[in-house]
Chains A and B, each alone.
Chain A
């Protein structure tokens, strides 16, 4: 009997989604809503199937931009976090700037990037980096700084160099926080690429959404949204799996 709530909680999201979609389907049919205002879930599913080829093509473009931007963000975040936590004056000089940079409206920067760099890959990757870089960096910095100073003192008393201490104490200690940052960024990365494409592109899901939206093919717009959700979730799942294997000691306290 005790198992039952467990199983239920596992399928809870699925049940919620099914109920919501049924209500949506029912509502659209009952009130005869026009498809160019709001298509029903079945119409969206139909659009997913009929436009599958085009969608795959655009998804690959978007995924490429997102992954590229995500990768660059990780490298940049590790470098910046390492520098800021090790060199005090750099931290004083740049940490506030890092925070301020996040208050600039993303959309204005995205527009500027398109003006400066055209309609190619670069401006989209830059938007992704802009969005992904911050959560990874801040989490990594917090992780590195939250290390027990007595732990560092112990290493010092045993004659460890600061590189030894970074490698063996600070970095492993920061890994769980680092992965938290990665998961947040992964959810944003696809969306950020789409925003970049929205403002000027020749391919990608964002581009697909702008043209379908202009012809009032709302079912196709929503189909693209579904694809965005699914690949974002897959990215997060991949990171969770990597986390499971890379920081085995972190599983123990769960």
Chain B
């Protein structure tokens, strides 16, 4: 069982209210997309869920326990890939394992087993600077998976990619998450991306961010139903 419940969270940073009373949840194996205008407070929300910062009010429950303000439960991929320039791809990806005290050899072996799935086979000894944008994103994603496959926070992981690469990554990521049965929270401000990936969508308001609406999707939604949804969401974001 992997689930996250965010309960009535608010946060003010430097006299600026960024998050106003947000409640949301992710169920086991669910792919939940958070859609919000830029600068509304999405990344701040992830910082709170990951435990990096404390909310002023509200709690974060992970698998039934209170983890508010405590790190270490979820895999968090931030907006930037944050690969270490000084380490090669293999070491970068192995970092979560090494930090957990795993033996270097064993950690590298685990990384090796996954490289092919992430399209990084043969690139393990490259430095991040030598990789394309898509490969860097995949390396950062694999590093996140190495920390845990159960609960993932992904903050606009594909924002910097071109449209074609991005489409490919969508299909690939969706498959990956289904096969690992991961519970995912995924931030974007791209409606197409949200409709493509989500089981459920939360639409956030402008800053201070609050939940404006929630939509359920399923595989059987027809094209016209999705178009209708798109128009609804667009009108909400205006």
The answer to whether B82 touches A150, judged by C-beta atoms less than 8 angstroms apart, is: yes
Chain B CB within 8 A of A8 CB: no
Tell me what chain A mostly uses at the interface: helix, strand, loop, or mixed.
helix
Max chain B Cβ within 10 angstroms of own Cβ: one of A151, A157, A160, A248: A157
The answer to whether A150 touches B78, judged by C-beta atoms less than 8 angstroms apart, is: yes
Given A157-B50, A157-B76, CB of A249 within 8 Å of CB of B129? yes
Chain A CB within 8 A of B85 CB: yes
Kindly identify, within residues 42 to 90 of chain B, every residue whose CB is under 8 Å from any CB belonging to chain A: 47, 50-52, 71-72, 74, 76, 78, 80, 82, 84-87
Given A157-B51, A158-B72, CB of A249 within 8 Å of CB of B85? yes
The answer to whether A160 touches B99, judged by C-beta atoms less than 8 angstroms apart, is: yes
The answer to whether A253 touches B78, judged by C-beta atoms less than 8 angstroms apart, is: no
Please count how many residues in chain B sit with their CB below 8 Å of the partner chain's CB atoms. 23
A150 and B52 CA atoms in complex are apart in Å by 11
Chain B CB within 8 A of A168 CB: yes
The answer to whether A252 touches B78, judged by C-beta atoms less than 8 angstroms apart, is: no
The answer to whether A156 touches B100, judged by C-beta atoms less than 8 angstroms apart, is: no
Please name the residue on chain B nearest to A172 by beta carbon: B86
Chain A residues with CB under 8 A of B82: 148, 150-151, 154
Report the interface size class on chain A.
20 to 34
Given A159-B100, A249-B127, CB of A154 within 8 Å of CB of B86? no
A191 and B110 CA atoms in complex are apart in Å by 53
The answer to whether A175 touches B86, judged by C-beta atoms less than 8 angstroms apart, is: yes
Chain B residues with CB under 8 A of A253: 129
Chain B CB within 8 A of A217 CB: no
Q: 1/0 per position for A164-181, CB-CB distance to B under 8 A?
A: 100011001101000000
Given A249-B86, A252-B129, CB of A156 within 8 Å of CB of B147? no
The answer to whether B80 touches A158, judged by C-beta atoms less than 8 angstroms apart, is: no
A217 and B5 CA atoms in complex are apart in Å by 86
**Shortest beta-carbon distance, A104 to chain B, in Å?**
37
**Shortest beta-carbon distance, A173 to chain B, in Å?**
7
The answer to whether B86 touches A173, judged by C-beta atoms less than 8 angstroms apart, is: yes
Chain B CB within 8 A of A247 CB: yes
Chain A CB within 8 A of B95 CB: yes
Cross-chain contact of B86 among A150, A153, A155, A247 (Cβ < 8 A): A247
The answer to whether A159 touches B71, judged by C-beta atoms less than 8 angstroms apart, is: yes
A155 and B82 CA atoms in complex are apart in Å by 10
Chain A CB within 8 A of B133 CB: no
Max chain B Cβ within 10 angstroms of own Cβ: one of A164, A173, A248, A252: A252
The answer to whether A252 touches B127, judged by C-beta atoms less than 8 angstroms apart, is: yes
Residues in B lying within 8 Å of A, measured CB to CB: 47, 50-52, 71-72, 74, 76, 78, 80, 82, 84-87, 95-96, 99-100, 127, 129-130, 147
Task: Give the top 6 A-B pairs by smallest Cβ distance, nearest first.
Answer: A172-B86, A159-B72, A252-B129, A249-B127, A157-B76, A157-B71
11 contacts between A and B (CB under 8 A): A148-B82, A150-B82, A153-B47, A153-B78, A155-B99, A157-B51, A157-B74, A158-B99, A172-B84, A173-B86, A249-B85
